[in-house]
């Protein structure tokens, strides 16, 4: 099987569990025409009813035409293919939680479905997450550490998980999936220093001048005088909400492929990485609206309520069942 086909089939068959009775909406920005065409062909082969909408979206306000489609009574499954995050918008939340639609958002290219996290079966991720929930599902203190002096910690009400199984009404999330994140992060408890040595969405792979480097004091970010990050601060300067930390999270998917594409950040799903989300936190129990920007670093060490879940980029086998250990061990990401 062509691996691009495998990635699309994983999205349709294993993530959304598409059925012949479903009515699918594919909404995308114009530059993803090739991706939309390929997904449409797969839906045609499966004899699934669908509609396609191509529309410009600035990452700040959902166009009225798209908002109407998201909240209609016609489509019960939604595929969102946009370079700018649409996941943290109220209309998207209402489509999922009020209209109870099954949803998946993918911001990558067609080629990025050939390898990496897009090929991971969410059923294995679900098993791994169920293992971790026994130990950290009610975690309230999270600490992320990484290279370049990165260390950031904060308190939250619990740890949330995303496996990528969106088969039931009201399910949905990003694709590829596989992460754990702080829910209801208490802003004034968040402190530390961050240097993104893997990727920043919209800036791309870490390189001199493209890194996000900042200090965090009571949830707000500040430049570091002797480590300038002009491009990063230029990226966020017109969006006040991006100066606030809204999420502390880490990847759980043991498919480790980094992509040289700036407008997608699948790397945040990779087991062994951690990420800081700036800006909108309404998807994580908060109230701040607007843009959301993720930046990724690793190999990471992750501690939740004193338990070291990830150690130097590998998951601690102490917290996994034998089934999960076998899956992760096969990809050499098990810490023993």
**pLDDT digit string (tens) for 129-152?**
999 999 997 889 999 999 999 999
Same structural domain for residues 133 and 7?
Answer: no
Show which of 96, 114, 132 is a domain's final residue: 114
Range(s) of the domain holding residue 14: 3-114
Same structural domain for residues 146 and 266?
Answer: yes
Contact 151, 145 (CB under 8 A): yes
Same structural domain for residues 15 and 153?
Answer: no
Same structural domain for residues 178 and 308?
Answer: yes
Structure tokens at 307: 């338990």
Cα–Cα distance measured from residue 133 to residue 137, given in angstroms and rounded to the nearest whole number: 4
Same structural domain for residues 182 and 270?
Answer: yes
Same structural domain for residues 141 and 257?
Answer: yes
- Residue 214 main-chain phi, psi, to 5 deg: -165, 165
Position 117 scores a pLDDT of 93
**265 Cβ contact partners less than 8 Å away, ≥ 6 residues apart:** 107, 199, 201, 275, 294, 296
Same structural domain for residues 107 and 132?
Answer: no
Same structural domain for residues 62 and 180?
Answer: no
Same structural domain for residues 97 and 178?
Answer: no
- Residue 185 main-chain phi, psi, to 5 deg: -65, 130
Same structural domain for residues 162 and 79?
Answer: no
Cα–Cα distance measured from residue 19 to residue 49, given in angstroms and rounded to the nearest whole number: 10
Per-residue pLDDT of the chain (336 residues; tens, 9 = 90+): 455 688 999 999 999 999 999 999 999 999 999 999 999 999 999 999 999 999 999 888 899 999 999 999 999 999 999 988 787 788 988 999 999 999 999 999 999 999 899 999 999 999 999 999 999 978 899 999 999 999 999 999 999 999 999 999 999 998 999 999 999 999 999 999 999 999 999 999 988 888 999 999 999 999 999 898 999 999 999 999 999 999 999 999 999 999 999 988 899 999 999 999 999 888 888 888 888 999 999 999 999 999 999 999 999 999 999 999 999 999 999 998
Neighbours of 246 (CB within 10 A): 29
Position 244 scores a pLDDT of 96
Contact 304, 263 (CB under 8 A): no
Position 2 scores a pLDDT of 57
Rg (CA), the chain: 19
Same structural domain for residues 45 and 158?
Answer: no
Show which of 85, 114, 143 is a domain's final residue: 114
46-87 pLDDT, tens digit each: 999 999 999 999 888 899 999 999 999 999 999 999 988 787
Counting runs of H as helices and runs of E as strands, what totals does the chain give? 7, 21
Q: Cα separations (Å) of 99 from 43, 70, 72, 282?
A: 22, 9, 8, 18
310-322 exposure pattern, b = at least 16 Cβ within 10 A, e = fewer: bbebbbbeebbee
Position 88 scores a pLDDT of 76
Say how many domains are in the chain. Answer: 2
Same structural domain for residues 273 and 327?
Answer: yes
Structure tokens at 222: 């500040």
CATH of the domain at 17: 3.40.1830.10
Show which of 114, 145, 179 is a domain's final residue: 114
**85 Cβ contact partners less than 8 Å away, ≥ 6 residues apart:** 59, 105, 107, 201, 291, 292, 293
Q: What is the pTM of this model?
A: 0.89
């Amino acid at each position: 099987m062509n691996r691009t086909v495998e990635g699309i089939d994983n999205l349709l068959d294993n993530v959304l569990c598409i059925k012949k009775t479903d009515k699918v909406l594919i909404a995308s920005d114009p530059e993803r025409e090739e991706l939309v065409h390929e997904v449409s062909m797969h839906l045609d082969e499966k004899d699934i009813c669908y509609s396609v909408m191509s529309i410009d979206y600035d990452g700040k306000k959902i166009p009225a035409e798209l908002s109407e489609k998201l909240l209609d009574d016609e489509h019960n499954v939604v595929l969102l293919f946009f370079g700018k995050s649409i996941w943290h918008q109220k209309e998207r939340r209402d489509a999922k939680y009020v209209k109870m639609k099954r949803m998946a958002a993918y911001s990558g290219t067609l080629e990025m479905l050939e390898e990496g996290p897009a090929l991971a079966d969410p059923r294995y991720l679900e098993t791994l997450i169920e293992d971790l929930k026994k130990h950290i599902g009610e975690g309230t203190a999270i600490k992320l550490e990484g290279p370049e002096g990165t260390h950031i910690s904060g308190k939250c009400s619990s740890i949330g998980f995303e496996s990528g199984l969106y088969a039931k009404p009201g399910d949905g999330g990003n694709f590829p999936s596989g992460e754990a994140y702080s829910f209801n992060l208490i802003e004034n408890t968040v402190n530390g220093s961050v240097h993104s040595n893997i990727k920043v969405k919209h800036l791309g792979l870490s390189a001199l001048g493209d890194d996000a480097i900042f200090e965090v004091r009571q949830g707000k970010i500040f430049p570091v005088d002797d480590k300038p990050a002009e491009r990063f601060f230029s990226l966020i300067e017109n969006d006040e909400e991006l100066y606030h930390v809204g999420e502390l999270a880490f990847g759980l998917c043991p498919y480790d492929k980094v992509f040289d594409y700036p407008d997608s950040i699948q790397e945040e799903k990779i087991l062994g990485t951690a990420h800081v989300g700036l800006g909108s936190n309404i998807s994580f129990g908060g109230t701040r609206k607007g843009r959301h920007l993720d930046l990724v670093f690793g190999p990471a060490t992750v501690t939740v309520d004193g338990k070291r879940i990830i150690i130097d980029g590998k998951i601690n086998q102490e917290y996994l069942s034998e089934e999960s250990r076998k899956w992760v061990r096969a990809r050499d990401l098990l810490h023993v």
